[in-house]
Structure 1
Amino acid sequence: MKRKKVKRKDIRIRHVETDLSTAFIASVMENCPEATLVFDHFHVVKLMNEKLDDIRRKAYSMEKDVNKR
């Protein structure tokens, strides 16, 4: 639904679910400032797994260097 139609019909958007795109986040904050922004589960879990993998790789590398001596 277009923004003008929403305003004309006095519809209140309370929650908006989106991925982690900065463009989407900025658009939601500009067009629906009162709405609660909710990030979708898939992208949040994906980001957390990527960061956890980075930590595991660094820990493995550090442990490997320590035991090499």
Structure 2
Amino acid sequence: LNEPLATAYYMKEELRQIWRQSDKAPAEKALAEWIAKAAASNVGMLQQFAKTLAAHRSGILAYYDFDGLSTGTLEGTNNKIKTLHKMAYGFRDTEFFVSAI
């Protein structure tokens, strides 16, 4: 009964290994193997996600072209600023908004 959930969990853990590879060649191999394994699974969402990863393969592997540089922190900060902006809607004091950022 829980086989699809268990499969998804283990596949998630395997996917994390892609970013733990030493350089691009083993990561490319690991990604290709993961995509093939997910496509062969009987879990529809994993099959769909495998297609998405295959379409974005070059962008995913670009992580290794830039020594593991990630924009995650920047994107998180931008999301916090957007949230603050929504919360401050209607206030006239822009100095408070800037200091909150």
Is the helix fraction higher in 1 or 2? 2
Tell me which of the two structures has the higher relative contact order, counting C-alpha pairs closer than 8 angstroms and 6 or more residues apart.
1
TM-score of the aligned structures, taking structure 1 as reference length? 0.35
Higher strand share: 1
TM-score, scaled relative to structure 2: 0.26
